[in-house]
Structure 1
């Protein structure tokens, strides 16, 4: 009489036949021959090889391997919106793992994010908006320290170089404003186009001025 083991290892699957892990099947006590009670969703097969980034799938009597990107962060090529992969299989064609930068769009030809047509303009505007505000005394002190131009000098330059609404807004800001922001077009144009302060120097001055009481 042959002695059969009381249990054998079997492969447990999920509802979609993906490998879950190993379990055991007990010998049928009512059968005299080698017969095991295979649990539901289990198959009698060798344990599949574990491959990084893949999940074994039981299909037609053998193991196939399906890509597993679950938990990975991807970005929609159309909008740059971030998403997390929840399903097994290859990555959809409309997503990428490349992180988009502000003011870019996806280029299928380049296989990466590329600048939109007016990216430089948009980045400059964004930087201006994020620069924050300065009290009038902070700004005027920094202008005088770095460029030797007092409040009186600035008013004289404005009167000489500007006209119309632009003159009125700049003159009133220098004389009366509680604070200044670089997102104000009149102030930005006065510093960069009338005083010929480069954008980089103006941003640097702005940050230094914030340190002045």
Structure 2
């Protein structure tokens, strides 16, 4: 009798997972244009990714986030563990989560260009304030190079909780008050603003936003392998 009940439950889940398409996920709308660049204040502390014991906090105010995505990179970045719920997971993953639990969270992220999680992209309109994703010390501010040209800056942070690692943010302009040696606090120290790269490259995050997909990128590397500009 137990086998029959389990079989019926599994059959119903298979029909749910494969018999019809899931309800579409609606991206968070952008703020009205007149208020989009008004100061929103720092984000409420929210851990969006982990690497071991290191917590990566949301670097953009919640009201300004357009989408969150992860993708691969070929230059030695360490994999992050996303928190939240994947909005574009496959049918088999949805079925597994229904059977065994998991895969749920307070916010949605998207997997971009494959299944890797080396880079965290947090979408926001150009000019949006960016805040520190970790407590730590700024150890580098340099040009962000794309196709041989500088676009904004790269900010390297040594996190207090993991001094053997470096957290790097790109696709932003640094705050004028930020210097090498600055001590920063997660979710409270403003470190820069998002830049507009829509005229330079197609941004994969745009598939899940209502704009060009501009964003700030966050990567994690061992300190010994940090590439110099």
Larger radius of gyration: 1
Structure with the higher helix share, 1 or 2: 1
Structure with the larger RCO, 1 or 2 (CA within 8 Å, 6+ apart): 2
TM bucket (normalised to shorter chain) is under 0.3
TM-score normalized by the length of structure 1: 0.19
Structure with the higher strand share, 1 or 2: 2
TM-score normalized by the length of structure 2: 0.18
